[in-house]
Structure 1
Amino acid sequence: MRIIDFFDRGVSLDPDRACLKDASVTHSYGEVQKRSYRIGNALIAGGLKPEHMAAVYSPNCAVAFECLLGILRAGGAWVPVNARNVAAENAYILDNCDVEVLFYHSEFEASVALFRKECPKIRQYVCIDKPGAVAGTPFVEDWIANAPETDPDVPATRDATASIFSSGGTTGRPKGTQWSHLTWETMIANFYSSLPIGKPPVHLVIAPMTHAAGGVAMMLMAAGATHVILPHFDAEHVMHAIEKEGVTHLFLPPTAIYVLLAHPDVRKHDYSSLEAFIYAAAPMSVEKLKQCLDVFGPVMAQTFGQAEAPMLCTCLTPKDHLVLGNPKLEHRLASCGRPTMFTSVGIMDDDGKLMPPGERGEIVVRGNLVMLRYYKNPEATAEASAFGWHHTGDIGYLDEDGFLYIVDRKKDMIISGGFNVYPSEIEQVIWGHPAVQDCAVIGVPDEKWGEAVKAVIELKPGAKATEAEILKLCKDTLGSVKCPKSAEFWDALPRSPVGKVRKKDIRETFWKDQKRAI
């Protein structure tokens, strides 16, 4: 099935049911379907071919989702663009993924000005909330005004490219993970087999639609879910929305959940409508998870995945969480669940041998959930696909009951607040400071962020620098997500006999008393 077929299934269940609801509009499934027809037909009339790339660059809002559905309706491939990235990184993503059409919110006009210079393959810009600042840039409502309100019905094979999500690289440059319609179909099958739907869902969309929240929304459309869209995370707004809207499903990374738990009014709201409160993207504190079960009830659900094998390689279901107080089983709360129905998960050593239960090695997965390939990057594809399995870069083990535990990371990547951060990119910036001799950027344990980005710096003899100026340099260059949370200065960084900085030794300084290594 095409992804758009799952949305159309939601329409068939009840075309009058609210589909997208934000602060400005509420559109029913039938209305959204007709708007997707018009957007899709306008894209086709403008020359978008099947499997060619189009992107949406916007905060969470109803019209952004409609443009996404329009891209899929036209047979195009959706390239998510994270609004939190710095403009230069998004310019690289758009150009590297050969994006031809960009729908954007006027909030990002300054970034779009850069794209017009750096992304020559983009031949059509469409502003989604008003006419664009540059002459000739249409407002989406005007652009689709004369488009037919009929289904263009563009066929697609299961292996056709449906989307390209960005993943990181060892140099920090994002790689495009190429998903087929079958990738999406498998993810949706894993979702419903792991988290069966009860009453008609109400999904609270808070995290960026370019990440897990968007994926959950697309999956829940097949069940005719109402998507209540918040523009950004605010603990009080989230609590009110769950109670007021009768929310059944939501996704948040652990960092946001910790903010919810710390709010003084967290126990003053009714969460009885919840069926699945999904957390993922970073390790979750077991103690905080116990608090969640106490506050929100037996509704917590954890998934494990990555851009290359999206979201549902494993699932710790709400039922799996019902081990609190059982000394023989409570340790499962530190796991990320069992492999999902349509994905195989194994533990592999460096020679390609699968390890028995309890033995640590690299977590590998295979099946139709795995991406087609890295876009235009056969070398990286071959490396990640060694021995016929996709290599996640995470170290873990499976217990005797098949529950997966992640204990370390094979490469230098840091996951802070659910976002991938690559140390080499930050180190390049810090090395450019005139007082810096050398540096190492690592992830250190942090109760809120899971891992906090930290810079450990060796200054040149006689040179001086402050933590504040290092952090400002990083923030100005890379943005707040990649900026270290702290920096400290050492007289000398530990080095190997050949002079290479020993990051493992630096990390050990901060992780030695922890029960986890990520």
Structure 2
Amino acid sequence: MTIANWLLQTARSWPLRPAIFDGDTLKHDYASLLQQVCDRAADLAARGIGPGDRVAIFARNAPDYIAALHAIWWVGGVVVPVNHKLHPREADWILDHSGATLVFTDDGHSFAGRAELALAAPAPAGAPIAPPLPREGGDPAWLFYTSGTTGRPKGVMLSHDNLVQMSLSYATDVDRPQQGDHMLYAAPMSHGAGLYMFAQLRAAGAHVVPVSRGFDSAEIRELARSLGGLVMFAAPTMVKRLIALARETGWDGSGVRTIIYGGGPMYAADIDEALAQFGARFVQIYGQGESPMTISYLSRDLVADTTHPRWRDRRASVGVAQGACQLAILGPDDTPLPAGKTGEICVRAPTVMQGYWQNPEASAETLRGGWLHTGDLGHMDADGFLYLTDRSKDVIISGGTNIYPREVEEVLLRHPAVFEVAVVGEPEPEWGEQVVAFVVFVPGETADPAALDRWCRDNIAGFKRPKRYEFPQALPKNSYGKVLKTDLRAWLKG
């Protein structure tokens, strides 16, 4: 079973239905999208790419993104989606670790010495329409690199079966696709927004890539007006910006059918205002790369409900287990905890990854006992609603994107003037959190924030750079020499 069969079936059933929009301009119906995929697949095969080969996409959202994904699966390959916001050096490490045979990029000239194609470059036309190469359900399809608190990213291996189960969970629990839907890709297609493509494609719905190739509130409002039926995934900061525009302009959300939010904390005041402005158009999901978008959900009715005696508490939760998932809160010894007790959120489900690419130790630790150990802390109430009480270790979530302090610390520690550094998150109204670096210099050395910022610009993605620097004489530590980041966060709060 290859999930690429879904496109073949849809294109045969509904060849003339709209498939891909560039803004509000129709670029492909399903028949022409299928032809583009077969043309691209023939080109990949001619380049020697076949079953099991990893092919990366390091590019911004684009109308050709979905065709490139399917062409890779058409020849039996494995997609390696890389966040386009990463620094090229970071992306280069992922390409090496995954063993990517080829990489699609925006311009076709991002990496020296690598086989590379521009995402929008046309393939030779006229390939025969043929089914994708058969694959087993357990064969890898999506190799997604998610950073960890220990430094280097880890490659999450998701199979064709994982993606099928994820898509069925979406259609059952999150949002049932409807005729006339237009799925809008304002968040990166290399992440969860792109994974929601499958359910929409299965329903022969349309896919819309904004001309901005990202999130722009005014553009989304205009697309809602011109196309209607917009469905989109959005980080909480995106929701907040959209509602701010709506408040300024008097827009009531007309043309938007569903906004699925997740990827970070949504403050109670923000979702209250969103509901007041747009009404019951919001669904919350909780997941992670290791079980993408599929751990829990809070339906649009539950988000908007005010009739239950505990509706306020429930709205503050991340909902109940999605249909394919079994949830448990486990203690330090991996024993189940009762309702109301805080522990590690753990998951059993057919959506859970196969493991980490070339990392058996991390795989065994994360999947021990048959459970996915998310690293997130939380508790469940007696009705099965899940509440996040802390995030895994010290992860910073800014604009819905995970930032791992260790990565930033390692870059700053390579600066010749830096002796010690600790990076933490600080609450920030627009983005949820911002990165703050506490830097201790080598005796006799110094550097100003501008110099440190230039150093970071040369080595890591811009969104990971500290937005603020503090220069203490020493970092607070416990008796074992471990830096006490809780003390640093407390200091920031004053």
Q: TM bucket by the smaller chain? A: over 0.9
Counterpart Cα distance in 1 of 2:50 and 2:442: 55
Larger mean Cα displacement after TM superposition, 349-358 or 57-66: 57-66
Residue 135 (structure 2) aligned to one of 141, 144, 156: 156
Distance 1:466 1:156, change over 3 A: same
For 1:209-358, list aligned pairs within 5 A: 209-230=189-210, 231-263=213-245, 267-269=249-251, 271-324=253-306, 328-358=310-340
Aligned residue identity for 2:487: D
> Using the alignment, how far apart are the partners of 2:493 and 2:302 within structure 1?
29
- Taking a change above 3 Å as real, the CA distance of residues 252 and 73 of structure 1, as seen in their structure-2 partners, is same
Assess if the C-alpha contact under 8 Å between 2:89 and 2:459 holds in 1: no
- Structure 2 CA distance for partners of 1:474 and 1:327, relative to 1, 3 Å: farther
Structure-2 residue corresponding to 1:137: none
Aligned 8 A contact 1:201 1:223 in 2? no
Give 1:188's aligned residue: 167
Residue 385 of structure 1: aligned partner: 367
1:339-384 deviation per Cα after TM superposition (whole angstroms, max 9, x unaligned): 1001111111110101111110011111110011101111110010
Q: Percent identity?
A: 33
Structure 2 residue 390 is matched with structure 1 residue 408: yes
Q: Could you say what secondary structure the match of 1:48 adopts?
A: coil
Q: Secondary structure at the match of 1:411?
A: coil
CA distance in 1, matches of 2:452, 2:52: 43
Larger CA deviation: 498-507 vs 478-487 = 498-507
| Alpha-carbon separation, structure 2, partners of 1:433 and 1:105 | 31
> Does the CA contact (< 8 Å) of 1:9 and 1:223 recur in 2?
no
1:103 aligns with 2:118: no
Deviation at 1:435, TM superposition (A): 3.9
CA contact (8 A) 2:247 2:277 kept: no
Q: Give the TM-score taking structure 1 as reference length.
A: 0.89
SS at match of 1:3: coil
TM-score, length of structure 2 as denominator length: 0.94
Hey, what does 1:67 align to over in structure 2? 68
TM-superposed deviation, 1:151: 1.1
Contact between 1:281 and 1:418, CA under 8 Å: does it hold in 2?
yes
Q: Does 2:16 match 1:11?
A: no
Encode CA deviations 1:292-318: one digit per residue, 9 max, x unaligned: 111221010111111111011111110
Tell me the secondary structure at the aligned position of residue 280 of structure 2: coil
**Which residues of 2 match residues 356-435 of structure 1 at below 5 A?**
356-435=338-417
Please give the alpha-carbon distance, in whole angstroms, between the structure 1 residues aligned to 2:348 and 2:466. 34
Out of 156, 179, 189, the position equivalent to 2:158 is: 179
Aligned length: 490
RMSD: 2.1
The structure 2 residue matched to 1:127, chosen from 94, 103, 118, is: 118
**Superposed displacement of residue 330, structure 1:** 1.2
Letter of the 2:6 counterpart: F
**Contact 2:43-2:124 within 8 A present in 1 as well:** yes
SS at match of 2:465: coil
Letter in 2 for 1:470: L
Aligned-partner Cα distance in 2 for 1:11–1:58: 26
Answer whether contact 1:209 1:215 (CA < 8 A) is retained.
yes
Aligned to 2:434: 452
1:218-275 Cα distance to aligned partner (Å, 9 max, x none): 3211111111111121111111112221033111111222222223665433533433
Question: Against the structure 1 CA distance between its residues 242 and 405, is the aligned structure 2 distance closer, same or farther, given a 3 Å change threshold?
Answer: same
1:456-492: per-residue Cα shift (whole Å, max 9, x none)? 2234456544333333322332131110121112233
Q: Residues 463-502 of structure 1 correspond to what in structure 2 (within 5 A)?
A: 463-502=445-484
Aligned amino acid, residue 99 of structure 1: A
- Whether the aligned pair in 2 keeps the contact of 1:243 and 1:269 (CA below 8 Å) is no
Change in Cα spacing, 1:353 to 1:126, as seen in structure 2 (3 Å) is: same
CA contact (8 A) 2:331 2:337 kept: yes
Q: Write the distance in 2 (CA, Å) between the matches of 1:152 and 1:196.
A: 27
Amino acid at match of 1:90: A
CA distance in 1, matches of 2:447, 2:49: 52
Task: Please give the alpha-carbon distance, in whole angstroms, between the structure 2 residues aligned to 1:28 and 1:197.
Answer: 18
What is the identity, as a one-letter code, of the residue corresponding to 1:126? L
Distance of 1:264 and 1:81 partners within structure 2: 32
- Whether the 8 Å contact between 2:137 and 2:159 is mirrored in structure 1 is yes
Aligned to 1:134: none
Q: For residues 70 and 19 of structure 1, what CA distance do their matches in structure 2 show?
A: 16
Larger deviation, residues 56-65 vs 350-359: 56-65
Residue ranges of structure 1 left out of the alignment (5+ in a row): 117-121, 130-139, 513-518
CA deviations 1:30-82 (Å, max 9, x no partner) are: 11012112222222233222121112222211122211111112221111022
Structure 2 residues not aligned, in runs of 5+: none
What displacement does 1:503 show? 1.6
Of 85, 106, 124, which aligns to 1:144? Answer: 124
Structure 2: distance between partners of 1:410 and 1:259: 26
Superposed displacement of residue 183, structure 1 = 0.4
Matches within 5 A, 1:11-30: 11-23=11-23, 26-30=27-31
Distance 1:232 1:461, change over 3 A: same
